[in-house]
Amino acid sequence: MTEFARIASLARLFGATRAHGVELGIGDDAAVLAPQSGERLVWTIDEQVEWVHFRSDLVDWHDVGWRSFMAAASDLAAMGARPWCALAALVLPADFPDEALFALAAGQQEASEAIGAPLVGGNLARGSAVSVATTLLGHARTPVRRDCAAAGELLWLAGDLGLAAAGLRGLLGGVVDSRLDAALRAWRRPVARIDAGLTMAARASAAMDISDGLVQDLGHLVRASGVRAMLDVARLLEHGGDCLAQAAAAIGADPLDLILEGGEDYAIVAGSSSPLDGFVRIGEVVEGEGVFLRETAGERRVEVLGFDHFRKL
């Protein structure tokens, strides 16, 4: 199909979903929206690139569509925002099959329905490798930033840590083991913690999403807030539970390493002095700087570990 025949087919696929305030969707130079009055807009963009974020031989296109949409949605979740609508820019090789494109689009559409944010426009271009850029708008009355955590608060977590990384390592290593089932699902079909984000919005002082590893992402939060994070190792391992322990055993990894360094979790970490529904307690915010672990043996600082696209190794 030509570019414009593809756009027409995608418009039919995505055009079935209606959303409040969307006055003009796919098919013009731009989408037209009427924002909710009295609310802030929260706006993000994320991009997933073949051979970096996924290998097309290890993941199906439906999952690529789902994952790319959820990765962007996770940014909104971490701001305490309600997703509204999305645009996507796809880069596809000249010989990319129509069936693969429509599988990818079906994954986007499924994720978009799961979080209630229709795709209202986008762009198609040719390129040597597949990439999916997703931009999402959300509404929030009081967006939760990352720079307002204060000493004396507790640290809270919504979602799993380390499972997705275990799944990816299993995939890359060709490990076939039923103890990895939940981990593979976590990597292939991550879920943005929208409901947890909305619940926390009224009470959290600060929050961010964990997509590049807990220590690295929490490092951004404590640096922005001018505080120290003290993580409770026993609570982290307890939250990981048997599911993470089994997955770690299947790939010969340490569950704590997966928790601290593993990426693509799309969990939310938040600071708050009172409990947050849907979150578990994983530590506290204290004076100082850096990310520390509290173990039975004592406290120790952990250096930034996690994914960086341009770090020289």
| Window 10-29: residues binding its own copies (CB under 8 A) | 23-24, 27-29
Q: Which is nearer to its own copies, 185 or 220 (CB)?
A: 220
> Which residues 211-230 are close enough to bind its own copies by CB under 8 A?
220, 224
**Cα separations in angstroms, 163 against 101, 167, 175, 276, 307:** 28, 6, 15, 22, 15
Closer residue to its own copies (CB): 146 or 189: 146
- Please state, in angstroms and rounded to a whole number, the distance separating the CA atoms of residues 247 and 180: 5
Distances (CA, A) of 245 to 47, 163, 176: 31, 9, 16
The CA distance from 13 to 27, in Å, is 13
- CA distances (Å), origin 17, targets 4, 7, 23, 162: 21, 16, 12, 34
Minimum distance from residue 60 beta carbon to its own copies (Å)? 21
Instruction: State in angstroms the smallest separation of the CB of 234 from its own copies.
Output: 28
Q: Are 169 and 251 in contact (CB under 8 A)?
A: yes
Task: Please identify, among the stretches 119-127, 150-158, 235-243, 288-296, the one whose residues bind its own copies according to the rule CB under 8 A.
Answer: 119-127
Q: Find the binding residues for its own copies in span 280-309 (CB under 8 A).
A: 308-309
Residue 221 C-beta: closest distance to its own copies, Å: 10
CB 43 within 8 A of CB 72: no
Which residues in 41-80 contact its own copies (CB under 8 A)? Answer: 41-53, 75-76, 78-79
Q: Given strand 154-158, what is the order of strands in its sheet?
A: 206-210, 267-272, 154-158, 280-286, 228-232, 290-295, 298-302
- CA–CA separation, 311 and 307 (whole Å): 8
Q: Find out whether 55 and 145 touch, Cβ atoms under 8 Å.
A: no
For its own copies, which is the closer residue by CB, 4 or 12?
A: 4
Radius of gyration of the chain (CA): 20
User: How far apart are alpha carbons 42 and 35 in whole angstroms?
Assistant: 11
Identity of the residue, 199 or 246, whose beta carbon is nearer to its own copies in the bound complex? 199
Q: How far is the CB of 307 from its own copies (least distance, A)?
A: 9
CA proximity to 180, closest of 257, 237, 234, 253: 253
Contact flag: residue 137 with its own copies (CB under 8 A): yes
Q: 30 or 297: whose CB is closer to its own copies?
A: 30
Whichever of 253 and 291 has its CB closer to its own copies, that residue is 291
Which part of the chain contacts its own copies (CB under 8 A), choosing from 118-126, 183-191, 254-262, 287-295? 118-126
Query: Is residue 172 within the footprint of its own copies (CB under 8 A)?
Result: no
| 59, 81, 233, 253: which one binds its own copies (CB under 8 A) | 81
Please, what is the minimum distance in Å from the beta carbon of residue 97 to its own copies?
11
Q: What CA–CA distance (Å, rounded) separates 196 from 272?
A: 13
Q: Is 92 in the site for its own copies (CB under 8 A)?
A: yes
Supply the DSSP string of 43-81, one letter for each residue.
EEEEEEEBTTTB-TTTS-HHHHHHHHHHHHHHHHHHTTP
Would you say 11 or 151 has its CB closer to its own copies?
11
Least separation in angstroms between CB 241 and its own copies: 27
Taking the least distance from each CB to its own copies, the nearer of 178 and 311 is 311
Binding its own copies (rule: CB under 8 A), the pick from 208, 247, 267, 282 is 208
Tell me how many residues contact its own copies (CB under 8 A): 71
